[in-house]
Amino acid sequence: MKYIGFNNGVIDARETVVSALDHGFLYGIGLFETFRTYGGVPFLLERHLKRMAEGCKALGIPFEAEAAHLLDWIKRVMDKNELKEAYIRYTVTAGEDILGLPADDYQKPNHLLYIKALPKVPDKLYSEGKELQLLSLRRNTPEGTVRFKSLHYMNNILAKRELRGYASAANGAEGLMLTAEEFIAEGIVSNIFFIKNNRLYTPDLTTGILP
């Protein structure tokens, strides 16, 4: 990843800087969405933007979901990095504000596009699957009424560190997180789906999972 998208521009990754007074840095006030491309086209982009818009509204961050504009920006960053397919992380931070907790909405958010080549996936993953390791660390409760895909990702990072201590981690296992009440919640970087009596299930949002 030699180039990063920053506020609609494309600049050298080593020269991309965000202010130390950005509340994304000070308080974790910011959101991100990750998605991949198929045939150079971001998958389910409208749905990602909808979740981003809902989260920004709740956090008081001005945001307008313009898919056409974002598609053009993504293409420019992909072209600069010489990628036909990509893993994309779109981040919106709150922007600079006071040292303290503001009561008013934010005014000047920062937008960043991190784009890299898709990881290589072995064919056997689709035929054999991968291990699922039950973790002792519990999924924390959401910050508000629903969980935000926010810049505060400590719970997931601690889960990843716990997973590292299991033998299954050597085989690329995913970690399974339960709630404090021991209901199935979600994986460290994945949603949980299961089949029971020929019906497909996924945990309810009341378990605190990411919508």
**Which domains occur in the chain, in start order?**
3-116 (3.30.470.10), 124-207 (3.20.10.10)
pLDDT at 100 over 90: yes
Q: What is the reported pLDDT for 114?
A: 98
CA distance 145 to 205: 10
pLDDT at 169 over 90: yes
Q: How confident is the model at residue 174 (pLDDT cuts 50, 70, 90)?
A: very high
Q: What is the reported pLDDT for 121?
A: 87
Strand partners, 187: 176
Q: How confident is the model at residue 66 (pLDDT cuts 50, 70, 90)?
A: confident
Which tokens belong to 179?
A: 């709630």
Contact, 119 vs 88, CB < 8 A?
no
Buried b (16+ CB within 10 A) or exposed e, 36-55: ebeeeebeebeebbebbbbb
Q: What is the reported pLDDT for 160?
A: 97
pLDDT at 143 over 90: no
Q: What is the reported pLDDT for 65?
A: 78
- ∠ CA 193-122-136, nearest 5°, is 45
> In whole angstroms, how far apart are CA 6 and each of 22, 90, 184?
14, 10, 38
Q: What is the reported pLDDT for 166?
A: 96
